[in-house]
Structures are given as C-alpha cells and as structure tokens.
Amino acid sequence: METMGSDERKGDQDEHDTEASGRVIVEEGGTVPSQDTRARTGSLRKLVSSISKLARRPTRAAHDFFTKVALGGDTKMMDAGEQKSGRQTVAMWLGSLCVSGGIIVATFFIIYHAMKQQKLSSLKRRCSTWGENMRYKLWQATVMARMVVDLIALFRLREDLITAQDLADFTGTSEWTRPYVENIEYGEIVTAEQREAYEYRIGRRIFDTDGKPSPEADVYCPIFFSEDRSVTTGVNAFSVPQATVIYRLAYLHGEEAMSGPFPDIANNGYQVSIAYPVYKDEDPGSQTSDTNKTCYGILSARMKITTIISYYLKDANPASQVIARLYDVTDRNAAKLIYETQPPYSDTPEKYDYSGAVHLNRFRRHELRCRYAVKIDVQREAIIWASVVGGAVICVSIFMLLSNRMDVANKRLDVMKQRKEGIEKANLALEVANKAKDTFMGTMSHELRTPMNGIMGG
C-alpha cells in the first residue's frame, strides 16, 4: 500500500511538473498560446493522463491481489485455522484424559478382581488339600484299631476263639502307639438261634442297659471286651443309645461307620466313635452272599477328632493366616462345630471365602469352611499396577498429541514458507512493474516535452 501511494504521488508530481513546465515555457517565451494550441495541449494532457492511468492499473491490481491473498485474506484464514486447531487440541486432550482415566479405572478393577480371585483360588486349593489330608490323618490314627480287627479276623479264620484276655493284652501293649484312639470295645454278633448257646457259653444272659434281659430280636451284639472299666460285658450294644446307630450301620453295610461328635472334656474338644465289622477274611463283601463272609462281631473305639485335626492344621497353617472350621453337617438344620482355628484378631467376620465337603466317612457329612484371618484387601497392589498402566497410557497419549502438534506445526511452517515465497514474488513483480512504469513515464515525459516545447516555442 505504501508503494502504491508513492507511485500515485509520483505520477501526480509528474503531471504537476508538466503543467509547471508549460507555464514556465509560456512565461519565458513571452507569448500567449493561441486557442488551437491550448486545445491541442489539453488533448495531449488527457492522453498522457490516460496512458498514465493505464500504466498504473495493472500494477495496482496486482498489488491488491497479492496483498489480499498473501496478507489480508490468508491471515484471516490462518486465524480461523488456529482457532479450529486449538479447539481440536483441547478436545483431543480432554478425550485422552477421559480415555486414560477410563483405562486406569478399568485396570484397577480388573487387577483388583484378578488378584482377589487369585487369593480365593489359592485358599480353595489350600483348604481342599487340607480336607484330603484330614481323611488321611484320621486313617493313620485308626491303624491300631484296624489291627485289632485283623487280629480277631485271624483268630476267626483259624476257628479259634479269642478271649477277652487276649484282647486286653494286645490293646494294653499297643496303647502307646495310638494316642488319639481309646476305649476299644468288641461285641460279638449273636443271632436269635445262637443266643441260648452263647449265653450258656459265657455263663450269663444278654441284657440291655437297664439290666434286664434283652427282648427277643433277630440279632444281638453283646459286649465281649471293653477297655472302659465302666462298661459291663454282656450288655447288648444294640440297646446302647450312643452305639446303636454306628453298630447297626457297620453290621448292615459291612464297612466302617462313624458317629456324630460328642464332647471330649479331657481335651476340651470333640471325639467320635468309629465301628468296624469283623469278618473271617479280609474281604468281607456282603454278609448274605457267602457264609464264609459272615460278620462275627463289631469293634468300636473312640477317636479324638478335634485333637487330630488341631495338630495337623497347626503344622499346615502355623501362622493362622487362614481361619478353618470343621462342621458335621449330617443334619443341615443342626450343624455341629468340631474344630475351629483360633483367630489371631478379634474382628473376625462370619462370611467364609471357601466351603467344601470333607469325606471322612460314608455315613457322615463334614464340611470345611475357611476364610482369611484378615479381610482380603488387594487395593494397594491394584492401585500400584493401575497407576503404572495409567502412567504408561498417559505418556503414550502425550507422545501422540505432541507428535500430532509437531506435524501440524510443520505443515503450517510449510504453508508460511509458501506464502512468504508468494509475497516475495509479488514484491518482485511490483518492483519490476514500478521500474517499468518509471521508465515509461520518464520516456513519455521526455518525448512529450520536446514537441510541446516546440509547439509552445513556435
């Protein structure tokens, strides 16, 4: 714009010089030009002015075009682009923050759930192993009781009659090898047909716990031997309330039977009674299928189940990190607690993280319920991992955004370079046009002055 103004002022100055030159010539000549001369002079002036305007028009048009495109209009476009780019950048940052926050929250919950499930799975495997080992520990504790069964079966196999003294000697010498089993008893199976001969052989009647002779029945189980001095030999075990169920189960099903838990005052826990059928051979099978497999008697003993499980779990769970409870759930409405790990803390919730069946005996149902002594809390680990993942996501987002902004800046720099080149080309074209105009105007002024001087002088 400044260049254009200087050109206009220069053109006006040339016209003024031309007019001034005419006046000087007139004044110096001392003659007044005629009317025809003035008319020709006015026509020449109009011609020069028209030629000057025509010369200036393309230069001004080119100047206006390049100024509008390269400076004015493009600058406005750049401002709008910058505003749009700024809005896009804010939107991208907000979107990245939302996505990063969502990823962090999702990562936290995923890791929290996974770690919690891992701890619960570990507890489940641990307690399941405990249940299997409990069964093995009980089997180990009753080895001596089964040895007595084998001893009686051996005597029966040889058709010899084992005496109470034989059992007393054997159980007495083996008592130290069975610290968790006590009060071994043996009752012989006597049918109704055998009752009279049996009573004649032992020299007394088969009687019930009330001291009266047992009423007629299909089968009896008089106590033949007992380590408990308070138990009277000859009493029908099928009439003893505490022993009737397991004695009959062992007799009818031909396998080991277990009673429900009852208090063990001496050890501050619980104990159970177990009963084994005694056969002539080692493979009892069904007592009705073969006469050689007839059940001859029932051997029972009391087992300190709480003590056995307590010693085992103290070894398996020394720090009491897991609270374990063993229940007898044969009667679901009246579950009986057999053993409980003493919790190290007072705040112990009742909810259990694991509950599984423990197969200690076919005729009883037991359940092991476990939970961690301290409430499962993996928030700290989940927060750490979520922070690590979230930090990585945020770093990646920042890197991507910066890369995007660098690309935009490089593209804008290229556009600015192109615009600068366009402006330089426009300025160069203006300079060329101005030089051409100056040359043209100088030539025209010189050529017009010479004839006009001649006319004015003539």
C-alpha dist (Å) from residue 411 to 376, 407, 417: 55, 6, 10
pLDDT-derived band at 321 (thresholds 50, 70, 90) equals confident
User: What angle, 0 to 180 degrees and rounded to 10, lies between the N-to-C axes of helices 143-157 and 74-141?
Assistant: 40
pLDDT recorded at residue 346: 47
Of 69-78, 172-181, 202-211, the poorest mean pLDDT is in: 69-78
pLDDT recorded at residue 353: 80
Q: How far apart are CA 289 and CA 233, in angstroms?
A: 31
Sign of CA dihedral 184, 189, 194, 196: positive
Whether this prediction's pTM lies above 0.75 is answered by no
159 vs 171, residue with greater confidence: 171
Domain 142-303 classified CATH 3.40.50.300?
no
Q: Give the number of other CB atoms < 10 A from CB of residue 58.
A: 13
Q: Give the number of other CB atoms < 10 A from CB of residue 107.
A: 19
C-alpha dist (Å) from residue 343 to 112, 268, 315, 373: 25, 17, 16, 6
Tokens representing 82 are 């910058």
Within the chain, all domains assigned CATH 3.30.450.350 are found at: 142-303
pLDDT recorded at residue 202: 82
State yes or no: pLDDT of 328 exceeds 90: yes
Q: Which residues, listed in sequence order, are joined to residue 355 by a DSSP beta bridge? A: 369
State yes or no: pLDDT of 275 exceeds 90: yes
- Mean pLDDT score of the chain: 75
pLDDT recorded at residue 322: 86
Q: Give the number of other CB atoms < 10 A from CB of residue 57.
A: 10
The pLDDT tens digits for 381-438 are 666 776 777 777 777 777 777 777 777 778 878 888 888 888 888 888 888 888 887 7
- How far is C-alpha 168 from the chain's CA centre? 63
pLDDT recorded at residue 45: 65
Is 371 in contact with 393 (CB distance < 8 Å)? Answer: no
State yes or no: pLDDT of 305 exceeds 70: yes
The pLDDT tens digits for 183-219 are 899 998 999 998 998 888 888 889 888 888 888 888 9
State yes or no: pLDDT of 149 exceeds 90: no
State yes or no: pLDDT of 66 exceeds 70: no
58 vs 332, residue with greater confidence: 332
Residue ranges of alpha helices (H) inside 211-327 are 241-253, 305-316
Degrees, nearest 5: CA angle 290-293-295: 125
pLDDT-derived band at 43 (thresholds 50, 70, 90) equals low
pLDDT recorded at residue 377: 64
Sorted by sequence, the CB contacts under 8 Å of residue 318 that are 6+ apart come out as: none
Q: How far apart are CA 57 and CA 250, in angstroms?
A: 126
428 vs 454, residue with greater confidence: 428
